[in-house]
Amino acid sequence: MIFKLFRRNPNEALIDRLHGEIMAQARNPVLFTDYGVSDTPEGRFEMVALHVLMAVRRLNALPSPGPDLAQDLTDAMFQHFEIAFREMGVSDTTVPKRMKKFASSWLGRARAYGGALDAGDGEALSQALSRNVYGEDKIIPQASRLARYIEAVGAFWSSVPVDVFLSGPLPAVAPETIT
């Protein structure tokens, strides 16, 4: 049992690469300048969560080892956010509370965005993005554009085979091409 703590994940290098590529997409400056996402820890969380969700959705739809990679990628996202909290100076006693809130936020967003994407309901996706990303009760133009971008990412990645996730690089949709 204790040896599990010291066992390395055989996918660690792959997950680190995938996480890095997804982080680069989530940190595209266009999302913060042209799309109006707040360049704050909260805004960056929203973009990372959104992009990881899209990758996880695709990986879960792929044959093995896709679903395992999806779980490993989700775990890596949580680990990186925990490290970020500690680097920001969040105390050791507060980190678990923050992580619990983060997990709850992640699951809520995954349900809201996933449900809207599964239903092909751009308006519901725009509403969820308005609420979560922009803090608005009504749909705003930036949220509608972000919804179109996320739908484009999903459509683009829908044809990406598991081999691309395994070997890289992960293709990206340029957010500036979405109007």
pLDDT for 143: 97
| Average pLDDT rounded to a whole number, residues 14-30 | 93
| Residue 165 confidence class, pLDDT cut points 50, 70, 90 | confident
Domain annotation covers residue 174 = no
Per the CB < 8 A criterion, the answer to whether 82 and 27 are in contact is no
| Average pLDDT rounded to a whole number, residues 135-140 | 93
Among candidates 11, 29, 71, 22, which has minimal Cα distance to 49? 22
Domain annotation covers residue 2 = no
Domain annotation covers residue 173 = no
Percent of the chain with pLDDT over 70: 93
Q: Per residue in 62-108, pLDDT tens?
A: 998 999 999 999 988 888 877 777 777 767 777 777 778 888 888 99
Helix, strand, coil shares, percent, the chain, to 5: 70, 0, 30
Find all residues with CB under 8 Å of 120, minimum gap 6, and list them.
none
- Find tokens 């792959």 and name the residue: 14
pLDDT for 104: 87
Domain annotation covers residue 74 = yes
pLDDT for 10: 67
pLDDT for 23: 92
Query: Residue 139, class by beta-carbon neighbours within 10 Å (0-12 exposed, 13-18 middle, 19+ buried)?
Result: buried
Count of the separate structural domains present in the chain: 1
Domain annotation covers residue 151 = yes
| Residue 2 confidence class, pLDDT cut points 50, 70, 90 | low
CA distance 59 to 63: 8
pLDDT for 89: 72
Domain annotation covers residue 169 = no
Whether residue 22 has pLDDT greater than 60? yes
pLDDT for 141: 95
pLDDT for 105: 86
DSSP string, 59-121: HHHSSTTHHHHHHHHHHHHHHHHHHHHHHTT--TTTHHHHHHHHHHHHHHHHHHHHHHHHHT-
Task: Write down the pTM of the prediction.
Answer: 0.86
Whether residue 8 has pLDDT greater than 70? no
Angle at 172 between CA 168 and CA 177, to 5 degrees: 165
Among candidates 65, 51, 53, 61, which has minimal Cα distance to 10? 65
Full residue range of the structural domain in which residue 84 is found: 9-162
Domain annotation covers residue 177 = no
Encoding tokens for residue 52? 């990881």
Domain annotation covers residue 89 = yes
Per the CB < 8 A criterion, the answer to whether 178 and 152 are in contact is yes
